[in-house]
Amino acid sequence: MAEQEASGLQVLLSTLQTSCDKDVILNILSVLTDLLSLGTGRRIHYVISKGGSEALLQAFTAAARIEPPDHSTLLPLLRLLARVGQRDRKFGLKVQKAEATDIILSLARRNLGQHLHLTHCLWVLRVCASNVTTGTTLGINGAVELLFKVITPYSKRNVRTVRAAIEALAALLKSKSNSQRAVNRGYLGGLLRLYQDWHHNDVSNNYIHIRRGLLLCLKHITNIQLGRETFLVSRGMEILFTSVQNCLSCKNLDPIITPVTQILRKCYPKEPLPVATVRSSYSFPLPGNVKAEPPCEVSEGDYESDGEEEAEKDLENEDVESKEEDYDLETDVNKLRSRPVLDRPEEELGQYEAMCPELSHNFQELESDSEEEKSLEDRTERLPFMPSHFIPSATSVKHPNYRWRNQSVTEMGPDPGEKDFKVSLQSWTKKEKCRWDQTDEKRDIAEAAQDADYYEEEDPARSHVLALRPLPKDAAWYKKMVYPECEASINPSPGGRLESSGIETRLLEKHQGDIPFHSPHFYIARAKRVKSIPDYKDLSFPDFWGHQPPPYSKPMLERKYGVQRDKVLDDVRRLIQPGDVIGRIVFDLDKPSHSSPGAPDCLTFFSKFESGNLRKAIQVREFEYDLIMNADVNSNQHHQWFYFEVRDMKSAVPYRFNIINCEKFNSQFNYGMQLVMYSVKEALQGRPHWLRAGHDICYYKNHYRCSAAAGEGVRGKFYYTLTFSIKFPHKDDVCYLAYHYPYTYSTMMSHLDVLEQNRNPKKVYWRQQTLCQTLGGNLCPLLTITSMPESKKRDDLEQFYNRPYVFLMARVHPGESNASWVMKGTLEFLVSSDPIADLLRKCFIFKIVPMLNPDGVINGNHRCSLSGDDLNRRWLTPSSQLHPTIYHTKGLLYYLRSIGRAPLVFCDYHGHSQKKNVFLYGCSIKETLWQAGCMVDTAVLTEDVGYRTLPKILDKVAPAFVMNSCSFLVEKSRASTARVVVWKEIGVLRSYTMESTYCGCSHGLYKGLQLGTQELEEMGSKFCLGLLILHLKSLPCSEKVMAQATLLLDLEEEITDRAQRSCSNSSLETDDEPPCVEEIDYSTDSSSDGEEDFSELDQEIQECLSWVEGETEDEGATMGQTCSSKALRGLYVSSQPASNSTALPLCSTALRVCSGFESSPV
């Protein structure tokens, strides 16, 4: 049947190409018109696949050569060509091959006085020009000049023809050479004047399509630099900006507003960022012969780039993730296979034996009951940091064979109860096999507690006082909250600081201690020992006081319609109407003397505290500020993380902030994400919360550019603006704004102190050591957590020593603070008294590096370390000098593998700025090859699918986790990441990156909600639960453990099911980003304006069928009319009756073709 249907259509097309009988041709055209006017474009594509475009073109060229032209044949042919051609991607090439371009142009020129005939020619011309090559050919042959002649001067006569000509011109101007030709001939100014005429005279908005078409012409012309320059000289910015103002209130005028906004943003004169250099304000001298690159000064040139090049770069940015996943896949099986090789001499691995004391612990303390040992335990129990090995610094490894054995060891034994932590240094000699004796170590630590401070020995000048940032200056409020019983007045100091004598003590007394696992005492002590490039002397209040999750979850922000274009137009107003622009620098990290803080009606900014990032603040208007983030240290890029203080605000007034040097192509800020805010006044009134805040949030490309020199060779690097408005809750408050919930290095270290102090030492084996010293001189902690053996019996000790390892780490990227909150949840669960946690500790030994990049976190970086490197791209060949934390973490993993104890699970905690939910990236050879389209011989290539077990478990037990978002592909660009290197070189099957969204969830229990710290911490604890279930599924267990696990997990599953019963099944969810209410157009040449909408041209053609040939057009009187079937047939038959013997068989054939289409999907 299908063959008969196909053959019927082919008979029609073949007859159309060969027949010279006019009536036969008209009947075939009538049948094709009937067929293609029903259903969807699926039928047209079917006709195209059977050679319909070629048949119509051949019939057209034959009919056009007849003199005089027979329009009764030509018009239906042109209509069909327009309808079919717009859906045929190769139509332009087919037109050239049929040598029909000149014919179409010639026909148009001959019919300049016949508007009905000309309109048909213009439709086909528009379709042909959609192919840039064909459009260029048409332009060379004079099509641009012809069309400009048709559309000028302004007239409301023959509006259909004018519309068709304008839309054809817009298609032609997609060609760069045609745009150049139009500018050279002065057509851009003419188009602007024509647009003004149509805009001013279209009071009733009856000619929106014509106005939009003219805007598309301007949009394409301004894709080239000459076009933008001419547009500015012709005052195009002012013309379009003024014209769009009275359109904003009418949603039906979006087809006008959208292209105007795009043109204005694109033609806004490009400028460098208002900073002396785009390189970071902070630089750090690198060890050895490695030097940081000198700052790149911004030059005046090289900010402009052609629109096509701009569009190309935008497309590259837009598709970066899909390219990495689909086009960057590793297809070399040899490279995908595990290859356990070393990147260092094997004898060097012995150094890491000291980092695994649990494997040689003799647990003598299990039988120790003496009062002396108990007293010593009490004294040392509070010492949170007890490393028993040499702490390597960035320069300690001088050559590959350098050994750590028999070296002096740094012992760190601070007492959290004291105001200042004392970090001690003492000597320790490694004996025999480094068997750790706890009694000896306690004695060593007790002695070491009296030694000189480690940091002060290194740098005595660092013993400065770390002061808390000033509190709100409202004297009455200040007295009430801090000194309620004191009548003395509180006055600010000359420098704007409140006198801090006694304030810190009073605040510590006031702190209720009701924030779990947080101690301001511990935080201050830890913060005083931090080494930073700017040498911080201030404590931010939220980190000192602490954060408590609010008792509610915040839904994702609903995007206000038109918010992006409103912001863009507001930016354009600065250029056109600069009268109200203040332009005052109120904060400058580079030149503090140039700042003007404390000015009347002006906010005060500050960011020189741990993890802070704000480089410059410029007051634009009274309640609007442009903000510039600082680049990563020794870098000129990676602008995303921000964290700063703002004070001296008015309450209930919307302040607008524009962060103008963002770099990513898109952001979750366009899809419901909000930043976070912390109010000091709220905190001191008992509500110490980081809260999601901000409205009118959007993210879009701006007019700032970076020169090639400053952009490290990348010409015309683009920047994006994150804009948001905030109403502060109190007048003269002190508030902190951040990209995401901050989690500083000092927060992490003090958190470990609290966990160490609160753990049950009889049940929890906790060992906190120092992995290494960072480039900046800070210590990178390494944790070992497991369960104490039940006794010293051989079986219990053997079970302890043989527990499989799980290796976890986080925060290799400093700006991904959500990873630290997940890690916080993991750590708190692991040391808790929860029976599941107790069972989990009995099943695994956890090796944890909670913060891999302390220096980056401390100095407010987003992506890199002090070397300016992305540490998660250095795992293949890490440098012991430049990347010490990666070098020694990898060394420890090598050591575990060398003794046959490679981890069962490796997981690197990260944050993701482009996607929602929490998900895992893993590694699979087969899935990678399948995705790349490679043939996989499953008989030869076998693979353990156990890597999928853990994510499947997490999909069931963790509300924020989505299995469908997980990926197990191995990309070439990810070859040097921790996940891939540990999988290939260490041989860990379950090697993962866990990505947590900055935004919220699109499925399950938290669907539609933004994730807070409570949900992130929950994810960390649920990950632990998943590990326990994985152990039970994958490894042999004793009957006792299995029975205990069965009881506990049945209860857990019942609780989880009850919580998620009303939630949708995640397997039905997709990871596609829901579209915004408003189109988000980042590129300069995007089709988001609907230029390729086939329905519009189809509607024009349908409307044309109601015309009576030769009738004078009315001024839009027939606009919107549709044709009747009677009018349809009437236009395809001659004035004489067409019923003859020749046509009858064709009707029969047509019926078979019709039935074929009806049986096919439409």
What is the set of active-site residues? Answer: 995
Distance in angstroms (rounded) separating the CA atoms of residues 763 and 151: 86
Q: What is the DSSP string of 536-548?
A: --EE-HHHHH---
Q: Where are the alpha helices (DSSP H) in 305-437?
A: 307-318, 320-322, 333-336, 371-381
Helices 563-576 and 254-267 cross at an angle (nearest 10°) of 50
Evaluate whether 897 touches 987 at the Cβ level (below 8 Å): yes
Element (H, E) at 698: strand 695-706
3-state secondary structure of 647: strand
Q: Name the nearest CA neighbour of 1085 among 135, 41, 179, 390.
A: 179
Distance in angstroms (rounded) separating the CA atoms of residues 1008 and 672: 9
Say which residues have a Cβ less than 8 Å from residue 834's Cβ, sequence separation at least 6. none
Give bridge partners of residue 721 from the DSSP assignment: 700
Structure tokens at 849: 């590096």
Say which residues have a Cβ less than 8 Å from residue 298's Cβ, sequence separation at least 6. 272, 273, 275, 276, 277, 278, 706, 707, 709, 710
Which residue is listed with tokens 């107790």? Answer: 838
Phi, psi angle pair for 925, to nearest 5°:
-70, -50
Distance in angstroms (rounded) separating the CA atoms of residues 341 and 359: 24
Number of Cβ within 10 Å of residue 682's Cβ equals 17
Structure tokens at 79: 């209509």
Say which residues have a Cβ less than 8 Å from residue 179's Cβ, sequence separation at least 6. 173, 220, 221, 223, 224, 227
Q: What is the dihedral of CA 40, 42, 44, 49, to 10 degrees?
A: 180
Q: The sheet that has 690-693: what strands, in order across it? A: 604-606, 643-647, 734-738, 675-679, 690-693
> CA–CA distance from 475 to each of 6, 397, 458, 522, 1159 (Å)?
88, 55, 42, 29, 82
3-state secondary structure of 857: helix
Which residue is listed with tokens 């037990």? Answer: 957
Strands 695-706 and 717-727: antiparallel
Distance in angstroms (rounded) separating the CA atoms of residues 100 and 104: 6
Q: Name the nearest CA neighbour of 770 among 827, 877, 849.
A: 849
If you ran DSSP here, which 8-state letter would residue 129 be given?
Answer: H
Structure tokens at 774: 């960072």
3-state secondary structure of 36: helix
Evaluate whether 952 touches 1009 at the Cβ level (below 8 Å): no
Evaluate whether 453 touches 475 at the Cβ level (below 8 Å): no
Distance in angstroms (rounded) separating the CA atoms of residues 217 and 232: 16
If you ran DSSP here, which 8-state letter would residue 104 be given?
Answer: H
If you ran DSSP here, which 8-state letter would residue 846 be given?
Answer: E
427 by Cβ neighbours in 10 Å (0-12 / 13-18 / 19+) ranks as: exposed
